[in-house]
Amino acid sequence: MNDTVSGLLDAIEPVGRDPRSGGYRRPVLSTAELDLRSWFVQEAEKRGLGVETDRNGVIWAWWGEPGDGALVTGSHLDSVPGGGAFDGPLGVAAALVAVDRLRERGVQPARPFAVAVFPEEEGSRFGVACLGSRLMTGALDPDKARSLTDADGTTLADAYAKAGIDPHRLGRDDAALARIGQFVELHVEQGKGLIDLGRPVAIGSSILGHGRWKLTVTGIGNHAGTTAMRDRADPVVAAAEIVGLVAALARAEDDARATVGRFEPVPGGTNVIASRVDLWLDVRHPDDAVTRGLVDRIGAEAAGCAQRHGCKAAVVEESWSPTVGFDPALGRRLADLVPGAPVLASGAGHDAGILAAAVPSAMLFVRNPTGISHSPEEHVERSDADDSADVLADVLEGLL
Ligand code: GLV
Ligand code: MN
Ligand code: MN
């Protein structure tokens, strides 16, 4: 097999791509993501790997017989709205090519080995990031998962059923967890660490604690022409001020990051004073107590702000991931296998971070020359993408 990582990524380049912006929209179980899942199955079968989809929708491709204590590598194929081409697919393509490289080297796995693809890592359709790994580890209640809805009101249960995955079987999967002896996820770097260091690959040390909260501001819907300014309870005006407060409160806290990336006036009409605004907060800090404290302050200030505008504000947590450090012993093994690689903390969340609570996990990051991610500007040079499969193969060979 003489596939390269860049060649594999070229093959899926048009899938879910907006030709105007160049950004990708590949929500879990959408046509685009299902096309990518089929592409992965085809590529795995081309390599003689045995493919199965587990009860949480994770795709496994086994080299040899499935079994406990396997070495597992992989990533995800879904994207954020307007995302880049590499966030997720780079790790999946590198895993497939790493299998080719191991075979070329004559490696025969001495223990079970699999490539895994996790669903809804971004949470861009149903709101909970790393949904597949959270279900597998029991970090997400299956009843809660089944009732999550997308923007069109489709429940996750219906979306899974439509894709042929029985939603009644979702939930903690001890058999799947027992199969993962170690998990290694290769991923595009989503910041500037490797550019600053002038290096192509880093080893991950930790993932910044983060969570998502839905903030709802409720006012009184009315007519844009007949309602005097003094008579309004306009939630858009309150919510706009709240966005400014979020940024100001986060700036006052060292190392905190707070983002409002989604802001939806309801019903959303040019000549309509909205009755409600839904906005979503993403808040991150290395110290979980600081994140929680910051979210509490945002909630309190938002309530006061809403009240001044005759509105009400309420905050509901949608997901939470504490700061996690990757397995130190596995990290030391990776440092031996990728000599001289710098060690970087990740500000982004990953399935490896969720799995780390249950199994020894590690990450490799590949240089992104723009330092930008969750945007069409995200980039990996072809040579770095291709070389990443060799680095991953070195790591896998050493761990096998
Ligand atoms: C995923 O990339 C996240 O960090 O939200
Ligand atoms: Mn990712
Ligand atoms: Mn991402």
Tell me the pLDDT tens digit for each residue of 344-389.
999 999 999 999 999 999 999 999 999 999 999 999 999 999 999 9
Instruction: Determine the pLDDT at residue 1.
Output: 80
Instruction: Determine the pLDDT at residue 315.
Output: 98
Token digits of residue 299: 């909630």
| Other C-beta atoms lying within 10 Å of the C-beta of residue 10 | 13
| H-only helix segments in the chain | 5-11, 31-46, 89-104, 131-137, 142-147, 156-162, 174-179, 193-197, 235-251, 288-308, 328-337, 351-355, 382-399
Q: Is 242 helix (H, G, I), strand (E, B) or coil?
A: helix
Element (H, E) at 317: strand 312-321
> Residue 88 C-alpha to ligand 3 middle, in angstroms?
7
> Residue 234 C-alpha to ligand 2 middle, in angstroms?
37
Beta bridge partners of 40: none
Answer positive or negative: Cα dihedral of 224, 229, 231, 233. Answer: positive
Token digits of residue 138: 């029991």
- Ligand 1 pocket mutation, candidates 80, 131, 363, criterion most atoms within 8 A of CB: 80
Percent of the chain past pLDDT 90, that is, above it, reads 100
Q: Could you tell me which of 247, 224, 244 has the C-alpha nearest to residue 234? A: 224
> Residue 25 C-alpha to ligand 3 middle, in angstroms?
12
Cα 300 from Cα 268, distance rounded (Å): 26
Instruction: Determine the pLDDT at residue 10.
Output: 98
Cβ neighbors of 174 (< 8 A, separation 6 or more) are none
- Please report the domains of the chain, with CATH numbers, ordered by start residue: 5-208+323-399 (3.40.630.10), 210-321 (3.30.70.360)
| Other C-beta atoms lying within 10 Å of the C-beta of residue 296 | 11
Instruction: Determine the pLDDT at residue 221.
Output: 98
Cβ atoms 96, 47 nearer than 8 A: yes
**Ligand 1 and 123: CB distance under 6 A:** no
**Ligand 1 and 129: CB distance under 6 A:** yes
Beta bridge partners of 212: 282, 319
Q: Which residue's CA is minimally distant from atom 1 of ligand 1?
A: 349
Q: How far is CA 40 from CA 11, 17, 182, 236, 353, in A?
A: 11, 18, 21, 43, 23
Token digits of residue 274: 């909205």
Cα 19 from Cα 15, distance rounded (Å): 11
> Residue 269 C-alpha to ligand 3 middle, in angstroms?
31
* Half-sphere CA count of 341, side-chain side, radius 13 A: 27
Instruction: Determine the pLDDT at residue 279.
Output: 98
Cα 341 from Cα 334, distance rounded (Å): 9
Residues of the chain scoring pLDDT < 70: none
**Ligand 1 and 348: CB distance under 6 A:** yes
The amino acid present at 268, given as its one-letter code, is G
Q: Could you tell me which of 156, 66, 190, 46 has the C-alpha nearest to residue 116? A: 66
Taking only the tens place, the pLDDT of each residue in 125-163 is 999 999 999 999 999 999 999 999 999 999 999 999 999
